[in-house]
């Protein structure tokens, strides 16, 4: 059942891509250094972090009170994880020294029993493990574990790995079915997938079993109510009494029975990633089926066209099937990152282009929309329609919508999450399944693959996302037989492939969305892929009410939007007729140069509208209007203004 | 400047109207008796009230704890006020005995110093007057004052009036600029307008001055912060510390400088009513101008076509100009009732049909939408677009939207507010200005007017809202010269008036929206008014984004909607073409018989849509669809289903 389709480690992948190169460079040169400043409270005007200082206090190296969220430690952990990925690709002794120093502090902050969490150590040592529902204790542990594994794999240094092993050993003592153990799990999933990484790094099955325990137990008992009862129903957040919304935490049912994504979106996709990991590691078919069901619900009924998920600010949560408002949307950057984690893990189990399509959709749209092109301003929420006059606290339904990217957040989950994803992008490109190498994303660079004892170097040159040409070149010492599976994206109506200049017939080669070319490859063999880059007028499922009568433009993987900077205001009156001519253009001032789309649209104008709020038989005039569509991810880079993805037809 | 245009008291008005008769009857026979049961906790399945029990406990007649909101007493007060109005029109010894008994309890619940509030008496006697921001103490007093005035005017009995005078005397000692007084006002306006009523009932100027004090002081100091500082920033609602949003309470500016309606909508219109009262009583032109400015902002930029106001659930509040979402709307029944209070008061100052148009719009649409036709189910929130799948707690943006009317609310402000408005409807029909009698609403019945020593009886027979014919007949002992000012509603494109069967030329008679017919009236003189009842395709101001490209139907004062019961689901795909034929029909099963509108509409259907969430170049087919529009106020009387006022064109 469960196939072994392993992703090629980012260690073997050297990205060299005209589009993604700017992001990987940005993360290295700006984002990671900037975030270090931010978590050390050295960025003027940014919200206070205190994350590093908390560790110093817990380590006895400084005096003071804990400050920040109960999960403030994760900002340090995610930063360290990103540092690990950077060091995997390029030595940086200075950065490594800073990280080592941070790890020394973390070591001192660890308690003798292995416990590690500055909130509880400084502020509430007697409250450890008493409010898993709200306190993010295992979530925070999970992020530290992920950091440790990345840092160990990059540097070979074991200090942080040893720290988290001690912590994980302690957790394995605290949780379980024994008489003095807690039969519980965390309110925020994350440790599940982290423990699988720790298992891989150490080979210690205890960590795999602990992860499986959390997955298996979730939603099977009333742990949150029971721990609440024990501590007197206190709450970290609520005035009188904790309110436990089981769906918010995905504990309303055992995970194997959760057919619909509900509650906090990030938790769902982190949970799903852990589920897929355990399904793979333990050959658990029921868990694989449950993962597939949950995945299909998310991407088939609850995903924005931008790859965003979570349509409600309340609980940063999923709503119900097909309820995808564009303006009150949540679509947290972290949730789309988690969706990518899940997609990559599903690809490991069943290489189907559908998963890679979603990964690509989230990556090119919501994920990179989350960061300004200076690497210093970030979106947490990624709306598909913005009218700034509603934001700024005037209408509370839009309080969470920022019309421009802020510098840093007190609750800073998204920026470091972006940093760790973009710095480990190489992990998402290629996988190997038996004798076949899969290419999932069109991101250029060189990749080393070991296949049945043969060393293969694959060089990809991609003109995506602006042009549909991708070139692969094979370097081998001697001819090797293997399959090269090239993804044909869902957005491409047709594709052609040329091997050494000669077009090949694809129909017989297609398997689950990949063109699988089996042959004996010789050094210098070239595969050229040509994709359909026509502009697509996208419609959405008729049950998505917010998009009824509306159209969105997509070209290649890029979803487009209209912005006030190009089109003026009152975008609610803009229409894109069915027969409107759509022309490609290029804006070399926006985001380092992007392909835009010019269209002959219409705008309904009311030049002679009186002051009346409502009028009988008033006619608005439709006037021609040149429209400029820009890539969604580049919105809000030219000041504050209206923006809209779905336009009236 | 300030003219004296006095409304004819409901005592002089006997409503006998085929449309409104059912409502006044319903309030008398069902609503008021039912609400007495509800506030005595004798309605099975309804939310607990405890309102009467709180008074018994405070009176020492029962044991127990206070239960309910801090303003729970107002449910009793509003009920007593409605009883007063009922008794004004029809003796009911049994009901009067019940009310007298309740008043005896209230008397016993009053403290020796005049203080009256069961929350503080039972639960927190040491906290009196320490949290005006949140505790609704003066608001609750105001409702008891209104009840006392109504009950006194109906019965001549002074017990409750004496109670509230003692309370008001106490309040006048507590509040003021003296060294031991509080320079404050209530977080929820209401006492201002109530004290003006008390002044009228007693002639005691102290009450007028106290009202003026509250109006004048509001927003001129930092009273809420100062009282918070004194009591240590505690809050009734918030966990750690009170959060004072000055705009929510309309204390961000002095009332004379508040040009835009912000914050809690009911508070705004109650405040506005008090402002207009004080402007009139004290000849205060600046206050009149401020009232006019605030009114114009509300109805010119922040009102739904149904006369609903308040577009946000957060704070039950106004948003910003032209921000009128139809689905996440608030449009509280109480707010439209308060808007009617303000409209009537503005008419007293300047008889302009514009105010009566708004009064009528709110009355025929939002207000009566607030109550099911059984008199036992009520809407607090009156949406203009409902998709039940979003409600029921799935999407929290719609948590406040109920797709059918619930029985009773724990926070039961709206049902008794409806009862007191509908039972005093006679107060809103006629006013007298010098020698002119104004007819503001087309509601049939007999009215006695004393005009310069002459007794005039006016009989109105109205065929509204279904037909546009209104007949007035004058009864006088001897011919009397006076003006009869008949409102020509804004929705009527043309109107004709016949005096004793002969059409008169209106052009010279029109003044501020009224046709003013001056003549020597003889006994039996008849005036017939014929109004334009054509169906109007209404458009909204282009800045109202939610309605861009949409149309609503209105006929006479009635706004229409489409409902799933008649039209099936997926209303988001329904279109009403510009040239669609609109035909009148009659549904005699709905709400006792209503005029409906049949239209040749379209629906976009996607019969062959695959499972995909998004698809390129997919075409939805437009198919003919017979549409049935029903009066908005009758929605949600046939089970749960979709509903929509603004339909795509």
Tell me which chain B residues have a C-beta less than 8 angstroms from the C-beta of A313.
396-397
Residues of chain B in contact with residue A572, where contact means CB-CB under 8 angstroms, are 545, 548-549
Q: Give the Cα separation of A257 and A443 in Å (integer).
A: 37
d(CA B510, CA B497): 12
A311 touches chain B (CB under 8 A): yes
Share of chain B above pLDDT 70, in %: 98
Q: Is the pLDDT of residue A191 over 90?
A: yes
**With contacts defined as CB-CB under 8 Å, which chain B residues touch A394?**
319-320, 323
Radius of gyration over alpha carbons of chain A, in Å? 25
Instruction: Give the Cα separation of B547 and B550 in Å (integer).
Output: 5
For residues A422 and A445, membership in a common domain is answered with no
Mean pLDDT of B238-244: 83
Tokens read off for B140: 């609750």
How high is the pLDDT of residue A608?
76
Chain A contact for B608, CB < 8 A? no
Show residues of chain A in contact with B560, CB under 8 Å.
none
- Which segments within A369-453 are labelled E, that is strand? 385-386, 430-433, 436-439, 445-451
Residue B523 in this model has a pLDDT that exceeds 80 = yes
Helix (H) or strand (E) holding B538: strand B535-540
Alpha helix ranges (H) inside A302-383: 333-349, 353-361, 368-369
In whole angstroms, what is the distance from residue A409 CA to residue A273 CA? 26
Mutate to test the interface with A, among B302, B545, B582 (most CBs of A within 10 A): B545
SS3 B325: coil
Of residues B464 and B394, more confidence is placed in B464
Chain A positions in Cβ-Cβ contact with residue B554 (cut-off 8 Å) = 616
For chain A positions 554-583, those within 8 Å of chain B (CB to CB) are: 554, 570, 572-573, 575
For all residues of chain B together, what is the average pLDDT? 94
Percent of chain B with pLDDT strictly greater than 90: 85
- Average pLDDT estimate for B549-559: 97
Nearest CA in chain B to A648: B549
CA distance A467 to chain B (A): 19
Question: The domain containing residue A264 runs over which residues?
Answer: 254-427
Q: Nearest residue of B to residue A248 by CA position? A: B394
pLDDT score at A409: 56
B413 belongs to the catalytic site:
yes
A9 in a domain, yes or no? no
Does residue A36 fall inside a structural domain?
no
Q: Give the residue-averaged pLDDT of A167-171.
A: 98
Residues of B in contact with A539 (CB under 8 A): 614-620
In-domain check, residue B508: yes
In this structure, the answer to whether residues A82 and A203 fall within a common structural domain is yes
φ and ψ at residue B430, rounded to 5 degrees:
-130, 145
The predicted model gives A23-30 an average pLDDT of 93
DSSP code per residue over B450-473: EETTEEEEEEEEE-TTTS-EEEEE
Q: Which residue of A has its CA nearest to B618?
A: A539
CA end-to-end span of chain B, whole Å? 46
CB contact under 8 A, A299 and B605: no
Stretch 336-395 of chain A: residues touching chain B, C-beta under 8 Å: 387, 389-390, 394-395
CA distance to partner chain B, nearest, from residue A595 (Å): 19
Q: For A176-197, what is the mean pLDDT?
A: 97
Together in a domain, B496 and B515: yes
**Domain end (from B378, B410, B427):** B427
Contacts 24+ apart (CB under 8 A), B237-242: B237/A239, B237/B134, B238/A239, B239/A237, B239/A238, B239/A239, B242/B131, B242/B133, B242/B134
pLDDT at B208: 98
**B394, A320: Cβ pair inside 8 Å?**
yes
Q: How far is A523 from chain B (nearest CA, A)?
A: 39
Which of A472, A499, A531 is a domain's end point?
A: A531
DSSP type of residue A120: I
pLDDT, position A410: 53
Q: Is A614 in Cβ contact with B538 (below 8 Å)?
A: yes
Dist. CA B421–CA A41, nearest whole Å: 58
Instruction: Give the span between the Cα atoms of A208 and B547, in whole angstroms.
Output: 55
Give mean pLDDT, residues A177-193: 97
3-state secondary structure of A520: strand
Q: Any alpha helices (H) in B27-72, and if so which ranges?
A: 32-39, 51-58
Nearest chain B CA: its distance from A573 CA (Å): 6
Are the beta carbons of B459 and B523 closer than 8 angstroms? no
Same domain, A95 and A155: yes
Residue position matching structure tokens 């529009």 = B629
Nearest partner of A191 among A173, A166, A164, judged by Cα: A164
| Best of A385, A395, A602 to mutate (most B CBs within 10 Å, chain B) | A395
Residue B2 has a pLDDT of 41
Please indicate, yes or no, whether residues A580 and A638 belong to a single structural domain of this protein: yes
Q: Residue B410 pLDDT > 70, yes or no?
A: no
> Out of A165, A334, A391, A413, which one is annotated catalytic?
A413
Give the pLDDT score at B445.
Answer: 97
Contacts of B387 in chain A (CB under 8 A): 545
Structure confidence by residue, pLDDT tens digits, A584-606? 999 999 988 999 999 999 998 87
Residue B190 counted as domain residue: no
In three-state secondary structure terms, A87 is helix
Percent of chain A surpassing pLDDT 90: 85
pLDDT tier, A488 (very low <50, low <70, confident <90, very high otherwise): very high
Is B414 catalytic? The answer is: no
pLDDT at A4: 66
* Number of separate domains in chain B: 3
State the average pLDDT over residues B396-411. 72
- 3-class SS of residue A371: strand
- Please report whether residue B545 resides in a domain: yes
B500 & B527 share domain: yes
Contact A605/B at CB under 8 A? yes
Choice among B81, B146, B316, B332 that is catalytic: B316
B312: pLDDT strictly greater than 90:
no
pLDDT at A607 over 80: no
Alpha-carbon gap, residue A310 to A323, rounded angstroms: 10
Number of neighbouring beta carbons within 10 Å of residue B209: 16
Across A403-417, B136-150, B229-243, the highest mean pLDDT is recorded for: B136-150
What residues of chain A, 389 to 408, have a C-beta less than 8 Å from chain B? 389-390, 394-397, 399
pLDDT at B3 over 60: no
Contacts of A238 in chain B (CB under 8 A): 239
How deeply is B397 buried, as exposed, middle or buried, from its count of CB atoms within 10 A (0-12, 13-18, 19+)?
buried
Q: What is the mean pLDDT of residues A518-538?
A: 97
Q: Does B605 touch chain A (CB under 8 A)?
A: yes
| Distance between CA atoms of residues A649 and A537, nearest Å | 10
pLDDT category of residue A408 using cuts at 50, 70 and 90: low
Question: Average pLDDT over chain A, rounded to whole?
Answer: 94
pLDDT at B618: 82
Closest CA to B98 of B82, B116, B112, B110: B82
Q: Give the per-residue pLDDT at A411.
A: 56
* Nearest residue in B to A241, CA atom: B239
- Verify that B420 and B289 share a domain, yes or no: yes
Do B630 and B587 meet the contact criterion of CB atoms below 8 Å apart?
Answer: yes
Q: What is the mean pLDDT of residues B117-144?
A: 97
Give B544 or A400, the one with higher predicted confidence: B544
Same domain? A499 vs A609: no
CB atoms A539 and B614 under 8 Å: yes
- Label residue B393 by pLDDT band (50, 70, 90): low
* A185-189, A246-250, A407-411, B55-59, range with the lowest pLDDT: A407-411
Which pair of tokens denotes residue A613? 């709020």
Q: What is the chain A residue with the closest CA to B573?
A: A548
* Total beta-carbon pairs less than 8 A apart between chain A and chain B: 162
CATH code at position B438 = 2.60.40.1180
Look up residue B551 and give its two tokens.
């149309």
What is the nearest CA distance from B393 to chain A, expressed in angstroms?
A: 9
Q: What is the pLDDT of residues B450-471, one digit of tens each?
A: 998 899 999 999 999 999 999 9
A43 torsion bin: left (phi>0), alpha (psi -120 to 50), beta (else): beta
Q: How confident is the model at residue B411 (pLDDT cuts 50, 70, 90)?
A: low
- Residue B299 and residue A549: Cβ atoms within 8 Å? no
Q: Is the pLDDT of residue A412 over 80?
A: no
In a domain, A26, yes or no: no
Q: Encoding tokens for residue B68?
A: 């309910």
What pLDDT was estimated at residue B428?
98
Q: Which of B545, B609, B648 sits opposite A542 (nearest CB)?
A: B609
Asked if A491's CB is within 8 angstroms of B614's CB, the reply is no
Which of A216, A245, A274 terminates a domain? The answer is: A245
Residue A417's alpha-carbon distances to A332, A371, B515, B524, B529, in angstroms, are 11, 11, 70, 84, 71
pLDDT at A2 over 60: no
**Contact state of B540 with A613 under an 8 Å Cβ cutoff:** yes
Confidence class of residue B28 from pLDDT cuts 50, 70 and 90?
very high
Q: What is the DSSP code (8-state) at residue B9? A: P
The answer to whether residue B644 is domain-embedded is yes
Report chain A residues whose CB lies below 8 A from the CB of B314.
396-397, 399
On whether both A459 and A579 belong to a single domain, the answer is: no
B321 and B415 assigned to the same domain: yes
Residues A437 and A430: their CA atoms lie apart, in Å, by 7
Say whether A301 and B613 touch across the interface (CB within 8 A): yes
* Percentages (nearest 5) of helix, strand, coil residues in chain B: 40, 20, 40
Cis bond upstream, residue B465 (ω within 30): yes
Contact A542 B396 (CB under 8 A): no
What does the pLDDT read at residue A403?
79
What distance in Å separates the CA atoms of residue A590 and residue A214, rounded to the nearest whole number?
46
Residue located via tokens 């002089």: B12
Same domain, A345 and A357: yes
Mutation target among B261, B310, B539 for the A interface, most CBs of A within 10 A: B539
Q: Does B38 fall in a domain?
A: no
| Residues A541 and A411 occupy one common structural domain | no
Task: Give the model's confidence band at B413: pLDDT under 50 very low, under 70 low, under 90 confident, else very high.
Answer: low
DSSP A223-248: HHHHHHHHHTS--SS-SSS----TTT
Phi, psi for residue B164 in degrees, rounded to 5: -75, -30
Q: Across the interface, do A320 and B540 touch by the CB < 8 Å criterion?
A: no
Nearest-angstrom CA–CA distance, B213 and B177? 9
Indicate the residue of B390, B575, B604 with minimum beta-carbon distance to A320: B390
CB contact, 8 Å: B180 with chain A? no
Contact between residue B451 and residue B480 where contact means Cβ atoms under 8 Å apart: yes
Which of A192, A316, A564, A642 is an active site residue?
A316
B523 inside 8 A of chain A by CB: no
In terms of CA atoms, which chain B residue is nearest residue A389?
B320
Helices (H), A256-284: 265-282
């Amino acid at each position: 059942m469960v196939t072994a389709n392993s992703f090629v480690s980012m260690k073997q992948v050297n990205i060299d891509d005209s589009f993604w190169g700017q992001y990987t460079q940005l993360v290295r040169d700006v984002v990671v250094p900037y975030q270090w400043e931010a978590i050390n409270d050295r960025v003027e005007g940014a919200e206070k972090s205190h994350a590093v200082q908390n560790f110093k206090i817990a380590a006895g190296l400084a005096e003071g009170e804990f400050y920040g969220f109960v999960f403030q430690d994760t900002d340090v952990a995610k930063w360290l994880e990103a540092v690990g990925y950077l060091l995997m690709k390029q030595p940086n002794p200075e950065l490594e020294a800073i990280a080592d120093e941070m790890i020394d502090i973390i070591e001192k902050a660890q308690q003798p029993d292995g416990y590690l969490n500055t909130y509880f150590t400084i502020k509430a040592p007697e409250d450890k493990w008493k409010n898993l529902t709200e306190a993010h204790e295992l979530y925070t542990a999970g992020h530290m574990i992920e950091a440790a594994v990345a840092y160990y794999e990059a540097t070979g240094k074991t200090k942080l790995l040893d720290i988290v092993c001690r912590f994980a050993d302690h957790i394995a003592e605290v949780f379980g079915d024994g008489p003095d153990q807690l039969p519980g799990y965390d309110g925020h999933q994350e440790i599940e997938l982290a423990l699988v990484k720790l298992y891989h790094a150490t080979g210690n099955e205890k960590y795999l079993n602990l992860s499986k325990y959390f997955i298996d137990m979730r939603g099977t008992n009333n742990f949150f109510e029971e721990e609440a009862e024990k501590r007197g129903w206190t709450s970290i957040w609520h005035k009188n009494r904790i309110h436990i919304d089981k769906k918010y935490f995905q504990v309303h049912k055992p995970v194997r029975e959760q057919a619909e994504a509900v509650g906090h979106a990030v938790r769902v996709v982190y949970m799903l990633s852990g589920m897929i990991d355990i399904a793979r590691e333990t050959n658990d078919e029921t868990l694989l089926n449950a993962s597939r069901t949950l995945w299909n619900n998310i991407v088939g009924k609850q995903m924005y066209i931008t790859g965003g998920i979570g349509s409600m600010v309340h609980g940063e949560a999923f709503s119900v099937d097909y309820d995808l408002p564009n303006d009150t949307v949540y679509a947290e950057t972290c949730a789309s990152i988690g969706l990518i984690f899940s997609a990559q893990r599903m690809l490991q189990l069943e290489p189907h282009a559908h998963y890679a399509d979603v990964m690509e959709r989230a990556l090119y749209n919501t994920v990179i929309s989350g960061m300004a092109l200076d690497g210093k301003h970030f979106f947490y929420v990624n709306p598909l329609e913005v009218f700034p006059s509603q934001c700024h606290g005037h209408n509370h339904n839009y309080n969470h919508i920022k019309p421009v990217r802020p510098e840093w957040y007190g609750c800073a989950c998204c920026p470091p999450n972006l940093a760790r994803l973009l710095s480990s992008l190489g992990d998402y490109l290629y996988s190997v399944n038996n004798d076949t190498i899969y290419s999932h994303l069109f991101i250029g660079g060189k990749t080393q693959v070991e296949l049945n004892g043969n060393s293969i170097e694959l060089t990809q040159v991609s003109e995506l996302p602006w042009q549909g040409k991708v070139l692969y070149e094979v370097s081998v010492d001697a001819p090797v037989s293997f399959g090269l599976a090239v993804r044909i994206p869902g957005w491409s109506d047709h594709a052609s492939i040329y091997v050494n200049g000669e077009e090949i017939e694809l129909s017989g080669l297609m398997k689950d969305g990949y063109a699988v070319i089996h042959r004996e490859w010789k050094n210098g063999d070239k595969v050229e892929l040509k994709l359909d880059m026509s502009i697509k007028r996208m419609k959405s499922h008729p049950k998505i009410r917010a998009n009824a009568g509306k159209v969105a433009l997509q070209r290649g993987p890029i979803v487009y939007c209209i912005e006030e900077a190009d089109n003026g205001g009152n975008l609610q009156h803009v229409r894109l007729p069915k027969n409107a001519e759509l022309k490609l253009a290029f804006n070399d001032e926006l985001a380092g140069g992007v392909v835009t789309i010019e269209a002959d649209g219409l705008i309904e104008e009311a030049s002679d509208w009186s002051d009346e709020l409502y009028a009988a038989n008033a006619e608005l005039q439709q006037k021609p209007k040149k429209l400029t569509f820009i890539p969604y991810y580049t919105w809000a880079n030219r000041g504050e203004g209206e923006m809209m993805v779905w336009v009236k037809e």
